[in-house]
Amino acid sequence: MKLLVVYQLTDRGWGQRIFRYINENLPDSWEMDSMKINTAFPPVIDEPEDFLPEVIEETEILLVLTESTGLAQLIPDIAERSKAEAVIAPIDSKVWFPEGLKNQVEQKLTDSNIDSAFPQPFCSLTEGISGNNLIKEFASHFGRPEAEISWKDQEVQDVNVKRSAPCGSTGYIATNLIGIKRERAGEKGGLYHQLFPCLASVDLIHKSAYISEAMIKRALKMESKEGKK
């Protein structure tokens, strides 16, 4: 699979952190390119070519990590110029990507026969979000976190991360759960999620923390006979 990641250089570093984590954990069979975009945009973009490079790498799937409405407006143009078959444009802040703008972008992509997914927040992404095989493949590696947990004497002994949140927080949570009492693991997981720190905005951070907490609770229900000892 060929992946193009578009992100902005900002002080907050949301897109950069996600790009870096995906780059460091990319499946061997994937090929990835990246494109950095300017952060200075007018409220409304009339001429997309004024803000895009002359040449954009062709790709199969496009991941756009927008931290502004400006980059969000450019998604259809980037998708067409890169000849993308599918687009993932996560929403971790409704200020960067409000619902009305998301609907406009989605309609433009549909009109161009480009499949799309807009997980809100990014760590809610699952294979069921789309029927597109490229989106499904991406979501099988990065998205809603999944883990296996074993314990002994009611304390967490080991956490095996099967799928990580795209920001990489799942590994941090897993490391810090070792030695935690089983009945407190879910609560502590939600806390460590925010201490990572979570990159979602204030209006979505509680949802993303719940996703990590739910991951732990699911894993604890999948109790192995060995874990019950």
pLDDT on residue 222: 63
Q: Residues 93, 197: one domain?
A: no
What share of the chain in percent tops pLDDT 70?
96
Average pLDDT value for residue range 43-71:
93
Residue 65 located in a structural domain: yes
pLDDT at 42 over 50: yes
Instruction: Quote the mean pLDDT of the chain.
Output: 91
Residue 30 located in a structural domain: yes
Structural domain that includes position 193: 146-221
Q: Residues 83, 52: one domain?
A: yes
Average pLDDT value for residue range 200-226:
79
Q: Residues 154, 115: one domain?
A: no
Residue 177 located in a structural domain: yes
Q: Among 106, 141, 176, where does a domain finish?
A: 141
pLDDT on residue 40: 82
Q: Residues 183, 200: one domain?
A: yes
Using CB atoms within 10 Å of the CB of residue 65, give its burial: 0 to 12 exposed, 13 to 18 middle, 19+ buried: buried
Domain count, the chain: 2
pLDDT on residue 223: 52
* Residue 80, domain CATH: 3.40.50
Residue 228 located in a structural domain: no
pLDDT at 51 over 80: yes
Q: Kindly report, residue by residue over 87-105, the tens digit of the pLDDT.
A: 999 999 999 999 999 999 9
- Residue pair 126/139 in contact (Cβ under 8 Å)? The answer is yes
